[in-house]
A = this chain, B = another copy of it.
Amino acid sequence: MQIAIPLFERMTALDAIGPYETLQRLPGATVVFVGESKGEVRTENGFLGLTVDATFDEVPHPDVVVVPGGVGTREVRTVDDHPLVNWVKEVHRSTRFTTSVCTGAEVLGAAGLLNGLSATTHWSAYDTLAKLGAEPTEQRVVEHLDERIITAAGVSSGIDMALRLSELLVDADAARAMQLMIEYDPQPPFDAGSVSKAGDAAMARVIEYTRDKS
């Protein structure tokens, strides 16, 4: 079972690493990090380098695809004939599941895979996703099993999605085993993980910190 995770410049690392860490211990699973060219890509802030081990051409028939997001998806979806978009469109014909985390949904949208489908993404990116043909839905994980497409909300939601994927790929006990191995027993000290719960003061900080970094 080959799980392919594309990496690209200015991506968000946790979008990729959450599902990778959850899925990599499934029996028979291999994970390959794929991209336009082999070698290092950098996250949106430049702080972290991650290695692309295989080019898109070298991974023509992955069983599962997990497309991460990040500000880098802006370029991916706006460039004509982007290699990542073309690869997703092509490999989706034979995947068991084609999935996304965060603004990775925009790549699925640009590949024409979300036309008329409900889908989720980071809470700040619903409008963009709608322009790509999807019906944005405020939900942590949205699945269309007939279409073999699953989208997850922002960044950390990829872990939740990967547990559901583990169930679909193997069974519920396998998913529980993955959850236990990564000790995913969440106990966040605050309850601010969605727009409706975070409150105005936290949202003001998001705006302030995002402005400072851009």
Q: How many copies are assembled?
A: 2
User: Does A58 touch B at the CB level, under 8 Å?
Assistant: no
Distance of A182 Cα from B49 Cα, bound (Å): 19
Of A75-83, A106-114, A170-178, the one contacting chain B is: A170-178
Point out the residue from B27, B176, B204 that lies within 8 Å of A190, measured CB to CB: B176
Q: Which of A59-67, A91-99, A127-135, A205-213 contacts B (4 or more CB under 8 A)?
A: A205-213
User: In the complex, what distance in Å separates the CA atom of A162 from the CA atom of B67?
Assistant: 25
Contact of A205 among B51, B176, B198, B212 (CB under 8 A): B176
With the chains together, A183 CA to B190 CA distance in Å? 12
Contact B13 A209 (CB under 8 A): no
Distance, CA A194 to CA B184, complexed state (A):
7
The residues in A between 116 and 175 inclusive whose CB is less than 8 angstroms from any CB of B are 122-123, 140-141, 153-157, 159-160, 163-164, 167, 172-175
B27 touches A212 (CB 8 A): yes
Report whether A189 and B175 are in contact in the complex, using a CB–CB cutoff of 8 Å: yes
- Within the complex, what minimum Cβ distance (angstroms) separates A22 from chain B? 8
Set of chain B residues within 8 Å of A8, measured between Cβ atoms: none
Docked Cα-Cα span, A183 to B173, in Å, equals 27
Whether A186 pairs with B186 at a CB distance below 8 angstroms is yes
Return the contact of A17 from the options B13, B45, B140 (Cβ within 8 A): B13
Contact between chains at B26 and A209 (CB < 8 Å): yes
A12 at the interface (CB under 8 A from B): yes
Q: How far is the CA of A165 from the CA of B133 in the complex (A)?
A: 40
